[in-house]
Amino acid sequence: MPLALLALAVGAFGIGTTEFVMMGLLPDVADDLRVPIPTAGHLVSAYALGVVIGAPLLAAATARMSRRKVLIALMVLFVAGNALSALAPDHHWLMAARFLSGLPHGAFFGVGAVVATTLAADGRKARSVSLMFLGLTVANIAGVPVATLMGQHLGWRATFLGVSAIGLVAIASLALLVPRDHTHAPSTGLRGELAALRSLPVWLALGTTVAGFGALFSAYSYITPMLTDSAGYADASVTLLLALFGVGATAGNLLGGRLADHSLRGTLFGGLTALVAVLALFPVLMGAQWSAAVAVTLLGTAAFVTGSPLQLMVMEKASAAPSLASSANQAAFNLANAGGAWIGGVALAAGFGTTSPAVAGAGLGVLGLFVAATAYAVDRRRATASPGRLVAAYRPRREAARR
């Protein structure tokens, strides 16, 4: 695989670290800035809002630029946002800096996925995308715990300076390792990118991402009370169990990329089906500590098997102009985060039990399967009814009649 994928993975590692580290730093940030923890929690929302807004807007604004230059520019914005976070004098400035840090997230992964597929040999496109996403999953295993410890011992501002340093390494890696000749400016431009978003299959593919990963976040958002209240784990054990989720996610990401190169559709439907099955079994698996640990690992594996296939599905549906659609898919992942957590919370608040968010997630997974099936059915119907196919089918009959 090209070394350029390493540069993309370094950028993904930095982005994944800054996205998730705030959860572990909330008490320290709240104490230092003298705000309640619920108020400090808005910093997580500010980042997610930046991702949702920045993904399509930045992809559209840079539609005529070389993708290599776009990736470097996005990482410069990432470094600026994290450096400003470290220097923020109060909660409001930190909110603005976190929003700025989130802006390049979706566009980086979206454009990076397109670049990864152009660098890959035939039959390795999904694997190349999974290697870029490897930086994101490894961030959950190594980056976030190390950054959290740094914040607890050196202060939360040191964490964001450290993440800024990772961003600088990513910029240097992109400049040195990503070849210029593979990342020229797209010929379609903004008009072509916007035209791709008028396609119904593209929107159905985005809907599959929202429902499919919404299934994950419906359960994962409430995994701590499941582990402590249902499985009987102590609070101190939760961090280790979440690391198991990261291990499962990393394995699932690599497995999904390898399988999707053989069958994109089969891997997507198989992964979503496995995710539904794991979530449906959560009430049983959370009944004992050993099975709960297995459930957390399987949840990460089943969910991230679908990561690369979902990204490639969107790019496949928008094949003529994939950059904007690919970036919009990153916004869809964050909508899945917010929507899944909300649906899981509704199930929990309704009194259906501690593991009810997982059952609600299984329902979202079934919806994701239905939307994906609809997307492929629409594509097949359009291909069958396309004028070229109709003419090709009619021509032999006409010539036979003449004879």
| Tens digit of pLDDT at every position of the chain (403 positions) | 678 888 999 999 999 888 878 767 777 888 888 888 777 777 877 888 888 888 888 888 887 788 889 999 999 999 999 999 999 999 899 999 999 999 999 889 888 888 888 887 777 888 888 888 888 888 878 887 888 788 878 888 999 999 999 999 999 999 998 887 655 555 556 666 676 677 788 889 899 999 999 999 888 878 888 888 888 888 778 778 878 888 998 999 989 988 988 898 999 999 999 999 999 999 999 999 999 999 999 999 999 999 888 888 888 887 766 777 788 888 888 888 878 888 988 888 888 888 999 999 999 999 999 999 998 888 788 777 655 544 444 444 444 445 4
Radius of gyration from C-alpha coordinates of the chain? 22
The values of phi and psi at residue 108, to 5°, are: -65, -50
Cα–Cα distance for residue pair 205/208, rounded to 1 Å: 5
Q: Count other C-beta atoms under 10 Å from residue 175's C-beta.
A: 14
The ranges of the chain annotated as CATH 1.20.1250.20 are 1-185, 192-385
Burial 250-286 (b: 16+ CB within 10 A, else e): bbbbbbbbbbbbeebeebbbbbbebbbebbbbbbebb
Burial 352-373 (b: 16+ CB within 10 A, else e): ebbbbbbbbbbbbbbbbbebbe
Q: What is the pLDDT of residue 82?
A: 94
Tokens 């976070």 -> residue = 85
383, with CB counted inside 10 A (0-12, 13-18, 19+), is: exposed
Alpha-carbon distances of 173 from 4, 8, 26, 71, 294, rounded to whole Å: 8, 8, 31, 11, 37
CATH 1.10.490.10 applies to domain 192-385: no
The amino acid at 360: A
Which architecture does CATH list for 1-185? Up-down Bundle (1.20)
Decide if 16 contacts 135 (C-beta within 8 A).
yes
* pTM metric for this prediction: 0.80
Helices 264-280 and 356-385 cross at an angle (nearest 10°) of 160
Nearest to 227 by CA among 237, 217, 213: 237
Cα–Cα distance for residue pair 105/99, rounded to 1 Å: 10
